[in-house]
Amino acid sequence: PVIGGDFIFSVSPNGQIICLNKDGSLKWETEIEGRVIGNLIKDGDLIVTGTAQGDLISINANNGDIFQTIGVGETITSLLTTSTIEFVGGKVRAVIFGTVNGNLYCYNIYSFELIWQNSSAKGMIESKPLIINDLQRQNSEMQIAIILL
C-alpha cells in the first residue's frame, strides 16, 4: 500500500486498485488489465504501476480513471521508483524500473516519454532502482548497472 495525503492506495496481483479514505471507507476502485507483480507509486495526482505483461499504467489518484498506458514490450520485474532528473533543458519527474530482459527504463511520469534506456545488465532486474544524488544504481542477478543521470 501507498499512503498519499488522507488516502491509502493498494493494488492486488490481479489488477484491482483501490483507494480508501482515512476511516477505511472505499473512495474508488478500478481494474487494470494484467498481473501486477510490482508496487504502486504515487507522484502528485498520479498512481503508477507496472504489469507482468509489460505495461506501465498511470491512474488519476483523485478518481481512479486510467490516465495513460504504455507497453514496454517485456515484463516489468523490479519495483518502480521515482526521481527528478534533467531532461530537455528542464527538470522532470521520472519513473524508473527494470525488466525481465535486464533493461532499465526511465520515463517521464506525466507523459510516458522515454528519457533513457540502459541494457547493460546480463539478467533479470528484480530489485528496486536506487537513486543516490545524481548516480543511479540497479542490482540484478548478474551485475550492477550504473547510470549517471
Which amino acid is located at 1 in the chain?
A: P
pLDDT band at 137 (very low <50, low <70, confident <90, very high): very low
Confidence at residue 132, expressed as pLDDT on a 0 to 100 scale: 64
pLDDT digits (tens, 9 = 90+) for 9-29: 999 989 999 999 999 999 999
pLDDT digits (tens, 9 = 90+) for 96-128: 999 999 999 999 999 999 999 988 888 888 878
Cell numbers that stand for 43 in this block: 507522484
* Residue partners of 83: CB distance under 8 A and separation at least 6: 93, 94, 96, 131, 136, 149
